[in-house]
Amino acid sequence: MNQLSLSRNTSDSLKTNGKPAFAPSLDTVQQVDINEREFRRASQSKSERWTLRTPTKRDIVDRLERVSADDALRLKNCCSAFRVLTCGEHTLRSYPTFRCKKLFCPDCAAERATRLGNQTEAKIREVMKTTKGRLCFLTLTTKNAATLDGGLVKLKKSFANFKRKKVFKKHIKGYFGAFEYTFNPKTNDFHVHLHLIVLRGKFWNQSDISDAWRDVTGDSFIVDIREIKNTHKGVKEVCKYPMKPTDLMTMPDDKFLEVVKMKKGTRMFVSGGCFYNVKLDDDADETDENVFSQFAELTEGDACPFCKQELFDVLVDRRQHIGLHELNAMPNIVKNNSS
Ligand SMILES: [Zn+2]
Ligand SMILES: [Zn+2]
């Protein structure tokens, strides 16, 4: 699992292991229907729809160079070199020497999604051991907003009022969720929504939720609730990337800059009730992605658990690193170079 996530992080091409570097939206079927259809009808002709591809990191750097040189450089340097712990034959651990930690960076977004997914799943399973209820996936949407910040503020405010409602407390024992946004180039505005995992006590039907949501938003009523059959998949849906990378390429410069310059530390998560302790650290340091590795404890000088050779620390560039994970072994050249 860790191997897969690492090789996905370090992909600078469109696809890794046959999967897109950015997973497609995992929205529930109905939600995808509403959003995608609406989005596509408004934004693209039939032919455009099929030619829009996921931008690579290079594409994003190119675009960024024209609007913000600083950010372009940071993005370019992100994950360009890695520290690797290896015996020369087996790769036990690796992490980039620098991460930009931007939400629009394909490398950092993938790493964040994996890390948050792992943390959250463990915590939710822990809570579920002692609390009864049905785990559900709840999506709340608001009308499009001219600015990303404006859209986020409005949704956060609406949700704050929503969770205080009697009817919310009556049905929901705990919630955990993340904000997500898409961009509509035809109307030139953002669509911000909130994906939640909720622990539902009493059954709460969609039209009642919709009414309650309209009460707090005034104008928005599109909601979706469904039971989660697979906790792992459910958590993944919430912890995925907060935006569609293709949107980055369709937005005008001012909107693009708004996304790029989004305040560091802007809260993208909510949690409460019995999931109050499902708090996520969105600013983990570089080594944190190895926390879930079974080899996290090993250091230089220890014996490789597979072949008993001595482990050493080495610096490799991005290309070597990708090769390394494809082979799951350290190319000999690297070992020779470093000694
Ligand atoms: Zn990055
Ligand atoms: Zn070994």
Neighbouring residues of 57: CB distance < 8 A, sequence distance ≥ 6: 12, 75, 105, 106, 107
Determine the pLDDT at residue 51. 53
Answer whether residue 111 shows pLDDT above 80: yes
Any idea which ligand is nearest the CA of 311?
Answer: 2
Query: Is 158 or 15 the better-scoring residue by pLDDT?
Result: 158
Any idea which ligand is nearest the CA of 286?
Answer: 1
Determine the pLDDT at residue 49. 47
CB-based contacts of 329-337 (< 8 A; 24+ apart in sequence): 329/89, 329/90, 329/91, 330/84, 330/86, 330/87, 330/88, 330/89, 330/90, 330/91, 332/88, 335/86, 335/88
Q: How many CA atoms lie within 13 A of 43 on its CB side?
A: 23
Q: Is 86 helix (H, G, I), strand (E, B) or coil?
A: strand
Interval between CA 315 and ligand 1 midpoint (Å):
18
Determine the pLDDT at residue 84. 87
Model-wide pTM > 0.85: no
Any idea which ligand is nearest the CA of 88?
Answer: 2
Do the Cβ atoms of 86 and 311 come closer than 8 Å?
yes
- The Cα 154–Cα 142 span in angstroms is 8
Q: What is the pLDDT of residues 183-196, one digit of tens each?
A: 998 899 999 999 99
Interval between CA 72 and ligand 1 midpoint (Å):
11
Q: How many CA atoms lie within 13 A of 243 on its CB side?
A: 29
- The Cα 146–Cα 188 span in angstroms is 7
Do the Cβ atoms of 67 and 226 come closer than 8 Å?
no
Calculate ∠ Cα 62-191-254, nearest 5°: 40
Phi/psi of residue 17, nearest 5 degrees: 50, 35
Interval between CA 116 and ligand 2 midpoint (Å):
29
Interval between CA 298 and ligand 2 midpoint (Å):
12
The pLDDT of 309-326, averaged and rounded, is 82
Answer whether residue 23 shows pLDDT above 50: no
Determine the pLDDT at residue 22. 38
The pLDDT of 208-231, averaged and rounded, is 92
Answer whether residue 26 shows pLDDT above 50: no
Q: How many CA atoms lie within 13 A of 45 on its CB side?
A: 2
Interval between CA 96 and ligand 2 midpoint (Å):
21
Answer whether residue 117 shows pLDDT above 90: no
Any idea which ligand is nearest the CA of 105?
Answer: 1
Answer whether residue 289 shows pLDDT above 80: no
Phi/psi of residue 68, nearest 5 degrees: -155, 100
Determine the pLDDT at residue 277. 64
Interval between CA 92 and ligand 2 midpoint (Å):
8
CA 274 to chain centre: 23
List the one residue out of 243, 226, 239, 234 whose CA is nearest residue 151: 243
Interval between CA 99 and ligand 1 midpoint (Å):
5
Do the Cβ atoms of 259 and 148 come closer than 8 Å?
yes
Determine the pLDDT at residue 102. 86
Interval between CA 313 and ligand 2 midpoint (Å):
13
- The Cα 106–Cα 332 span in angstroms is 29
Determine the pLDDT at residue 278. 65
Answer whether residue 143 shows pLDDT above 80: yes
CA distances (Å), 77 to each of 54, 247, 318, in order? 21, 23, 10
List the one residue out of 125, 83, 151 whose CA is nearest residue 321: 83
Any idea which ligand is nearest the CA of 64?
Answer: 1
Interval between CA 42 and ligand 2 midpoint (Å):
55
Phi/psi of residue 14, nearest 5 degrees: -65, -40
Interval between CA 67 and ligand 1 midpoint (Å):
18
Do the Cβ atoms of 131 and 200 come closer than 8 Å?
no
Q: Which residue has the tokens 């005008």?
A: 252
If residue 125 lies in a helix (H) or strand (E), which one and from where to where? helix 106-130
Interval between CA 305 and ligand 2 midpoint (Å):
7
Determine the pLDDT at residue 281. 57
Answer whether residue 152 shows pLDDT above 60: yes
- Res. 335 pLDDT band, cuts 50 70 90: very low
- Res. 338 pLDDT band, cuts 50 70 90: very low
Any idea which ligand is nearest the CA of 289?
Answer: 1
Determine the pLDDT at residue 331. 41
Determine the pLDDT at residue 282. 55
